[in-house]
Amino acid sequence: MFETQLFSCSSKDSDEPPQDKNEWTTTKQRSCAFVNTPLPCINKTIHHIQELEVKMEKCFQQYNHVLKEEKMPWITKQVGAESSEDTWLSLSTRLDFQEANASCGDSKTLTLKQETEALLLEVTELIKRLEADREEAEKALERERQRRKKLGMEIDCMSLWRLQQLPAAVQKEYETCAQNTWELRWHFDCKSRQLRQVQNQILKIETVNRKIQEDIDSMKKHSPLLEEKLNLEGEAVTDVLLAYEK
């Protein structure tokens, strides 16, 4: 009875799904596919769960109302048909049994209601946690996008600096190296000229030194003759002086 009432209530309060199960699934997927952002889709799901809670509450209320209506006519009919003391005893026994069954059914209904509410609450909390995780992941993704954008800008700045400054720096370094090379070549040429001049001077000095050495050797060789000649000339001068004095 409860399942029939619940089915009729849910069929009456909710929109009728398509006959094809795949078509119904596709329609539900498309209902969230048209939403551009995840947050409205989550809100829509939570709204559907809340609507389902309201519908189930109505179904439980209708079930309790129908159950009470079904018990009261049965009790009235039994009291009107039987009036003896045994009948009242039998009626009391049946009534107690019926109340026990009703209380058992009510407890099962209450348990089912509580389990359903707990399940829906758990689903809602799970959706909220998933939404919180999604928002955190989206924030982390946004931070990574900003970081990637910043790194991209830094790379672009470095590339632009390299394109603009590197050729100028290379040209400047080339000019500096060329200037240093020219100066080194100039100094090398100067030193080469000085070396050639020194070498020429050395050759001249060696030539003069060689000539002087030859003269020294010649004088050493002819020194006895020169001494003899000097002695003869000295004697001749002495003789001339003596002759002049006489």
pLDDT tens digits, 9-65: 334 444 444 444 444 344 444 444 444 455 666 677 777 777 777 777 777 677 666
Question: What is the full DSSP assignment across 143-158?
Answer: HHHHHHHHHHHHHHHH
pLDDT computed for residue 203 by the predictor: 94
pLDDT computed for residue 219 by the predictor: 81
pLDDT computed for residue 33 by the predictor: 43
Residue of higher predicted confidence among 218 and 57:
218
pLDDT computed for residue 175 by the predictor: 94
pTM for this model (two decimals): 0.36
- For the chain, give the mean pLDDT: 72
pLDDT computed for residue 243 by the predictor: 80
Q: How confident is the model at residue 111 (pLDDT cuts 50, 70, 90)?
A: confident
Per-residue pLDDT, averaged over 198-217, amounts to 92
List pLDDT tens digits, range 124-166. 788 888 888 888 999 999 999 999 999 999 999 988 888 888 8
pLDDT computed for residue 234 by the predictor: 83
Rounded to 5 degrees, what are φ and ψ at 17? -75, 165
Single out the residue of 53, 63, 54, 55 nearest to residue 105, CA to CA.
63
Q: Which two tokens stand for residue 61?
A: 């209320």
What is each CA distance from 149 to 136, 154, 173, in whole angstroms? 19, 9, 34
pLDDT computed for residue 140 by the predictor: 94
The CB-based long-range contact list for 222-231 (8 Å cut-off, 24+ gap) reads none
pLDDT computed for residue 32 by the predictor: 46
What is each CA distance from 47 to 41, 44, 129, 141, in whole angstroms? 10, 5, 16, 28
Is the pLDDT at 220 greater than 70? The verdict is: yes
Sign of the alpha-carbon torsion through 222, 225, 231, 232: negative
